């Protein structure tokens, strides 16, 4: 029997981190462990503000048959650019060290986190380890940072894009998570000598997350615990970060502050959460609730507590990123209010599945009108709309389909 090929994943977030990419990569590694020898290089868990309880710079443990090298990093304040930069550079240096210490690697697998430097780890590793590199682009940067004017120094974007184009060019295969992102890659290279790439969409575990009614015992318990019983719930579940325009979308809640039976529920953490909370406090808006990330095994219940889910992206993100939360919402069979650009991957999924309504980013009146539309819609019609998303996911976006595409790609390499 031939020895398994060794793949080293350098992916920043990994179980038990709550970041969506961490959950996806954990499922991928566990599914690949029977076909390949899998090693993971990742940070100590801290996405939701957890404190690392170790003094070791590198710590090795295992998740089933997967070897995991954990890196201890400085705490990060997501509202501070200096703190973010310190965290990212520390990860970049230590992840490179951990990777170079690994022996007999056949494939290095990196993702586009942290921005640009995630891919550069693979480029450096390929050079020194004489191995192959798969570059999974979850978000195009610096395009994403440029869309939200993260800095006004254009030279920073220019340098970053040059480095990431090198990462793309030097990789053996690029994996993109949306068809619109494939178009962005082609544009980067002016449609000439475009690096070898394929589109493999992200997923959710459709066997774990299924449509449940609000009278389900666990959903009902969640609703009672947070005084949400008999409320119409508009939910956003995920990263409250810089690329979703949530700092402005929160302002539309003022229109609904006198709706006693309507609640906006934001579940998650991120750089703009404090500002959102401050806005609701200053404007005395009582029907907005913020909750921390829910445990992974409870998400199947919290997602089902909503009457409509917000799936949003900032203007300029089309072709740059795909909000992976859409797969969980579709699996739960709940209707979607998408704040998304026309032609984006998530917009296409909503429209093709007839699972919701889409308005353009920054069309705040359109968001208000759409919430009113869902609010007035009968429960039966909302349920029918949500289940359209579930049926579409079962036909086109099953977890097994994406995993098998990865297996085929890695075996071919």
In a domain, 150, yes or no: yes
Please tell me the predicted confidence (pLDDT) of residue 90: 93
Element (H, E) at 58: strand 58-63
366 and 407 in a single domain? The answer is: no
Residue recorded with tokens 């015992």: 217
333 and 368 in a single domain? The answer is: yes
Residues in contact with 237: Cβ distance below 8 Å, sequence separation at least 6, in sequence order: 266, 267, 268, 294, 299, 302, 303, 306, 309, 325, 328
Confidence of residue 214 (pLDDT cuts 50, 70, 90): very high
Q: Measured at the alpha carbon of residue 313, what is the angle toward residues 382 and 282, in degrees to the nearest 5? A: 85
12 and 107 in a single domain? The answer is: yes
Counting every residue, how long is the chain?
A: 413
Q: What does the H/E/C string look like for 125-185?
A: HHHHHCCEEEEEECECCCHHHHHCCCCCCHHHHHHHHHHHHHHHHHCCEEEECCHHHHHHH
How many independent structural domains does the chain possess?
2
Confidence of residue 80 (pLDDT cuts 50, 70, 90): confident
309 and 356 in a single domain? The answer is: yes
160 and 258 in a single domain? The answer is: no
Residue recorded with tokens 């020895």: 3
279 and 137 in a single domain? The answer is: no
Average pLDDT for the chain: 94
374 and 405 in a single domain? The answer is: no
247 and 360 in a single domain? The answer is: yes
179 and 221 in a single domain? The answer is: no
In a domain, 17, yes or no: yes
Q: Kindly give the interhelix angle for 20-32 and 399-412, rounded to the nearest 10 degrees.
A: 60
Please tell me the predicted confidence (pLDDT) of residue 52: 61
In a domain, 258, yes or no: yes
In a domain, 159, yes or no: yes
How far is residue 41's CA from residue 99's CA, in Å, rounded to a whole number? 7
Q: What CATH number is given to the structural domain containing 184?
A: 3.40.50.2000
> What tokens were used for 56?
């070791």
Q: Is the pLDDT of residue 150 over 80?
A: no
What strands lie across the sheet with 232-237, from one edge to the other?
Answer: 288-291, 262-267, 232-237, 308-312, 336-339, 356-359
183 and 231 in a single domain? The answer is: no
How far is residue 303's CA from residue 284's CA, in Å, rounded to a whole number? 26
Please tell me the predicted confidence (pLDDT) of residue 308: 98
| pLDDT tens figures, 366-387 | 999 999 999 999 999 999 999 9
Q: Is the pLDDT of residue 50 over 80?
A: no
In a domain, 333, yes or no: yes
In a domain, 211, yes or no: no
Q: Is the pLDDT of residue 56 over 90?
A: no
Confidence of residue 84 (pLDDT cuts 50, 70, 90): confident
- The parent domain of residue 340 ranges over 217-396
| pLDDT tens figures, 278-312 | 999 999 999 999 999 999 899 999 999 999 999 99
Contact criterion met (CB below 8 Å) for 413 and 172: yes
Contact criterion met (CB below 8 Å) for 346 and 360: no
| pLDDT tens figures, 174-199 | 999 999 999 999 999 999 999 999 99
Please tell me the predicted confidence (pLDDT) of residue 37: 97
Q: Is the pLDDT of residue 359 over 60?
A: yes
In a domain, 212, yes or no: no
Q: Is the pLDDT of residue 135 over 70?
A: yes
371 and 404 in a single domain? The answer is: no
In a domain, 133, yes or no: yes
Confidence of residue 344 (pLDDT cuts 50, 70, 90): very high
32 and 131 in a single domain? The answer is: yes
């Amino acid at each position: 029997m031939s020895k398994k090929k060794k793949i080293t994943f350098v992916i920043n977030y990994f179980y038990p981190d709550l970041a969506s990419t961490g959950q996806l990569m954990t499922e991928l590694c566990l599914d690949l462990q029977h076909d390949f020898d899998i090693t993971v290089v990742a940070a100590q868990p801290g996405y939701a503000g957890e404190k690392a309880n170790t003094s070791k710079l590198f710590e090795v443990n295992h998740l089933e048959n997967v070897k995991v090298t954990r890196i201890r990093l400085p705490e990060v304040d997501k509202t501070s650019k200096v703190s973010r930069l310190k965290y990212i550079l520390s990860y970049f240096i230590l992840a490179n060290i951990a990777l170079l210490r690994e022996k007999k690697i056949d494939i290095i697998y990196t993702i586009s986190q942290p921005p640009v430097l995630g891919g550069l780890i693979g480029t450096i590793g390929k050079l020194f380890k004489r191995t192959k590199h798969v570059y999974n682009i979850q978000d195009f940067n610096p395009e994403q940072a440029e869309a939200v004017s993260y800095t006004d120094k254009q030279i920073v974007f220019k340098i970053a894009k040059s480095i990431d184009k090198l990462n793309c060019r030097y990789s053996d295969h690029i994996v993109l998570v949306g068809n619109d992102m494939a178009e962005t890659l082609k544009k980067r290279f002016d449609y000439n000598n475009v690096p070898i790439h394929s589109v493999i969409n992200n997923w959710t575990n459709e066997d774990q997350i299924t449509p449940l009614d609000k009278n389900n015992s666990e959903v009902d318990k969640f609703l009672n615990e947070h005084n949400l019983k008999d409320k119409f719930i508009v939910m956003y579940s995920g990263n409250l970060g810089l690329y979703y325009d949530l700092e402005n979308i929160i302002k539309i809640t003022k229109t609904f502050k006198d709706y006693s039976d309507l609640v906006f529920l934001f579940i998650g953490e991120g750089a703009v959460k404090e500002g959102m909370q401050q806005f609701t406090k200053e404007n005395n808006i009582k029907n907005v609730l913020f909750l921390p990330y829910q445990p992974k095994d409870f998400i199947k219940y919290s997602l089902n507590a909503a009457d409509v889910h917000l799936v949003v992206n900032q203007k300029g993100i089309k072709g740059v990123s795909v909000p992976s939360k859409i797969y969980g919402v579709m699996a739960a069979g709940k209707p979607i209010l998408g704040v998304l650009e026309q032609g984006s991957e998530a917009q296409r999924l909503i429209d093709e599945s007839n699972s919701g309504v889409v308005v353009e980013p920054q069309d705040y009146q359109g968001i208000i009108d759409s919430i009113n539309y869902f609010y007035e819609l009968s429960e039966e019609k909302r349920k029918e709309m949500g289940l359209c998303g579930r049926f579409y996911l079962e036909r086109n976006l099953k977890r097994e389909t994406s995993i098998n595409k990865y297996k085929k790609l890695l075996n071919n390499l």
